[in-house]
Amino acid sequence: MFFNVLAVGFYGLFGAVLAEIPSYIKVCNKNDPEISKCIINSVEQLRSRLKTGIAELNVPPIEPLLLDEIQLRSGPNQAKINANITNAKVWGPSGFEIIDLKPNVKKNRFVFRVSIPSIYFEGDYDIDMSVLILKYKGKGPITGNFTNYKFDCIMKGDLVTLNGQQHLQFRKFNLTLYIGHSAIHLGNLFAGQNPTLSSATNEVVRDNADLFVNEIKPVLENSLAQKFTDIANTITKRFTYQELFPDNFEKTKPYLMKGIPELSLPPFDPFELPIMTVNRTLNDAVSINAIIRNIKVEGGRNTVIQGLRADPKKHVGEIRLSLPWTTIEMEYDVQGHLLTIPLQSRGFFFGNFTNTQFSIKGGLQTYEKDGNEYFRVKRINSKIVVGDGFIRLTSKNPDMQFGADLIANFFNEDPRRVLDTVNPIFIETSNQLFTVVADQILANLKASEKTYSSRNEFSINVITELICVSVPNTLTKLQFSINLIKKTMNCFCWLMTVLVLFQWTNREVSCVRKASKPSFFPTCFRNDPNLNRCLVEATEMIRPYLAKGIPELKVPPFEPFNIPEIKLEQGTSALNFKALLKNVMAYGLTNYTFSQFDFDVPNLQFFCTAKIHKMKLAGDYTVTGKILVAPIQGGGKFTAGIDSVDVFVYQKYKTSTRKDGKVHLVPIGTNSTISVQEPKLNLQGLFEGNEELTAATNKAINDNADELVIELKPVLEDLISKILEDLLFKTISNNIPWDDLYPINPKFS
């Protein structure tokens, strides 16, 4: 009855090595953004085979499904039932339909809801029952029909090692059954000697079928859960975890290890670099000026891809990697100081580092060379955390060995202290290195190419995903407030661009409506060679007007920025609540500093970066539910404070001719990232004013912000995006023609 769950989990779900997995199983890559749809299609293709069984995989037929003996020894006083049901056979499971699917490949957790139109079963009964005034004791055949049948299933697996290879082993399934209508019939009642009483007894049974089903349901759930857990684990022993969960990276490892000379891609393991320089001063405590030669890094073959998102159309994305262990050898010539230790020596470095975590985000842009279009790196931002490490330094001058040992011992006594201190330098250097290597690869790939040799196919599949990685909304933010700020800043940066582009030209430029001309707007032209600098300067000039609002453009005041109402509802393991936020006020949106605008006029896209200093949100809330393992309930005021927010926004447009006959810009895609420093959230009025519980809950929220935000993020981002983007897009972009927003100056032509 539940083998469709297994089919989803082990056949249709993630694919396998084609030489191992039968051809009738549709392969689904675990990085597929529409993996749920792929899984459902895979199961649909397997339906007929599941009914009759799959002998080569030792999968028994699911029709008829044979059940173990069911024992019933319970019931209310008015309807006591003692019964054994044996030789039970079930028909109908092959008519299943998956109506909801939520896979979590990273956690090996799969949640399903399945519908089966009808189920028929038959078996033998041995029953002793007392239902109201009717009593009966006897044996005979039992049949039943269930319609509108549904069940929920949670599958949770663990990785285990068998014969030196990793396999997925499932814990006992968690099944919950729901039956819409039931009809049960007992045959051979009263040995067939009293048809009238038999009919009356069956009528009583039918009238109390729900009672009967509810009593046997726990037995049925437990029996089926154990049976199909055993079947699942029998199947997973046939295939390794990598066969069940393939990814492109594993397929391309052989190429990476050896390198691809025609793409200027060096060997990945060991990775060697002739020379690299570092010249960076963070503060009074950290200053490093070094020349590093003959760098050799080993351990890349053990790289594990933990998460990947790519949007090849927008050329943006993200990848998260982990390195279980890495060794680094190199020659060094360094000067400077690290905390209290002076640095001034030459020698040889050896380091062994474990549990290194990478998060790399980036975007590409196109350029022309020799009449062809190529990609190059627009930006790369990485986050790198090294878990632990050990180093050894050997000075070239024996007289300086004592100093080298002093530095090595200083590191080895507390690696975390040093790693955290130099992390900004490490990240900056890594970004530069990633950019150089990526540009070397991309310089050999034409953007317009569609067909590639096997190695070029590798480069497109891997580089598009590893380098052209999307900008997802996965940065750490603090529950309500940070999600709100993210979308606020996303649309805020878009609004700033629109306002800056809404330049009003002099009399030499046509299509200007003088009655709508805000006198305070500066003028930037889309063909100005210094356009980007003009945009940055313009953001400073319009700051005071944003604070009060711009009625001519229907832009509301930004100090404070008001959102009347936000409804939130989430139901996950970490967050299960309903909340209503009212009269939300955001303070500090005009405390911005834009450091960069990059408007790509021919391709109608732009990037901008900004920093917002000292932001605050406040409003009213009501909430009920659960956060982590603690209940949360109450209502009152909430406040959130953020020290600063770094914002990066990418916006893509297209043009459209409207009813007025003029061309307008239409936003078609927005991606943004933010980095929040020192966020805090405070909820007042929880638990009917119980100060102790309120304080404990606020502490739990702030201490566990990362986990809570991951759970809550999709709900809030969709909600806030609708509130702000609809407001800004409808009031500005839809009403202002392209030539008014971004005019052309003939003198720059």
> Which two structure tokens, joined as six digits, stand for 378?
């627009």
pLDDT score at 681? 79
Q: Tell me if 341 is assigned to some domain.
A: yes
CA distances (Å), 30 to each of 38, 170, 277, 390, 599, in order?
10, 18, 39, 35, 35
Q: Which residues pair with 389 in a beta bridge?
A: 353
pLDDT of residue 701: 75
* φ, ψ at 157 (rounded to 5°): -115, 160
Same domain, 264 and 219: no
* DSSP helix/strand/coil, 513: coil
* Backbone φ and ψ of 96, nearest 5°: -65, 160
| Cα–Cα distances in angstroms (integers) from residue 406 to residues 349, 388, 415, in the given order | 14, 19, 14
Judge if 598 and 526 occupy the same domain: yes
Identify the pLDDT of residue 462: 37
Position 473 in a domain? no
How many whole angstroms separate alpha carbon 413 and alpha carbon 418? 10
pLDDT of residue 205: 72
Q: What whole-number distance in Å separates Cα of residue 724 and Cα of residue 713?
A: 16
- Cα angle 529-533-535, degrees, rounded to a multiple of 5: 105
- 169 and 26 in a common domain: yes
Q: Is residue 471 part of a domain?
A: no
First to last CA, the chain: 72
β-partners of residue 329 are 296, 350
Helices (H) and strands (E) in the chain, counts: 15, 20
- Residues 558 and 628 both lie in one domain: yes
Q: Is residue 282 located within the same domain as residue 183?
A: no
User: Using CA atoms, how far apart are residues 114 and 4, in angstroms rounded to an integer?
Assistant: 9
Going by C-alpha positions, the residue among 177, 181, 185, 183 that lies closest to residue 218 is: 177
Question: Domain check: are 488 and 536 in the same one?
Answer: yes
Measuring CA to CA, which residue among 237, 242, 385, 239 is closest to residue 304? Answer: 242
Range(s) of the domain holding residue 453? 249-466
Interval 353-388: pLDDT, tens? 888 888 888 888 888 877 788 778 888 887 888 888
Per-residue pLDDT, 315: 74
Residue 472 belongs to some domain of the structure? no
Whether residues 589 and 700 share a domain: the answer is yes
Question: 416-456, pLDDT tens digit by residue?
Answer: 877 777 777 777 777 776 676 676 667 666 665 433 333 33
Burial class (CB in 10 A: 0-12, 13-18, 19+), 743: buried
Distance CA 732, CA 749 (A): 27
- CATH number of the domain at 663, please: 3.15.10.30
Q: What's residue 464's pLDDT?
A: 33
Number of domains in the chain: 3
Domain shared by 201 and 263, yes or no: no
Do 484 and 619 have their domain in common? yes
Predicted pLDDT at 248: 52
**Is residue 145 situated within a structural domain?**
yes
The alpha carbon of 160 is separated from its chain's Cα centroid by a whole number of angstroms, namely 25
Same domain flag for 22 and 169: yes
Both 235 and 254 in one domain: the answer is no
Which of 439, 466, 493 finishes a domain? 466
**Is 474 within a domain?**
no
CB 382, CB 372: distance < 8 Å: no
Q: Which amino acid is at 544?
A: P
Ordered mean pLDDT values, 10 residues apiece, the chain (749 residues): 25 29 64 74 76 76 77 59 81 81 79 82 82 68 83 84 82 80 80 73 72 69 74 73 62 65 67 72 70 84 71 73 86 73 79 85 80 80 84 86 82 81 73 69 60 34 32 27 36 37 29 45 80 85 83 80 77 67 86 85 82 86 72 83 74 80 78 68 81 78 64 49 50 71 79
Contacts of 324 (CB under 8 A, 6+ apart): 299, 302, 304, 354, 355
DSSP 660-685: TS-EEEEEEEEEEEEEEEEEEEEE-S
Last residue of a domain, one of 224, 244, 264: 244
Contact 366, 373 (CB under 8 A): yes
User: Among the three residues 194, 224, 244, which one is the final residue of a domain in this structure?
Assistant: 244
- State the Cα–Cα distance between residues 577 and 480, nearest whole angstrom: 13
On the CB side of 374, how many CA atoms lie within 13 Å of its CA?
A: 15
Residue 227 shares a structural domain with residue 300: no
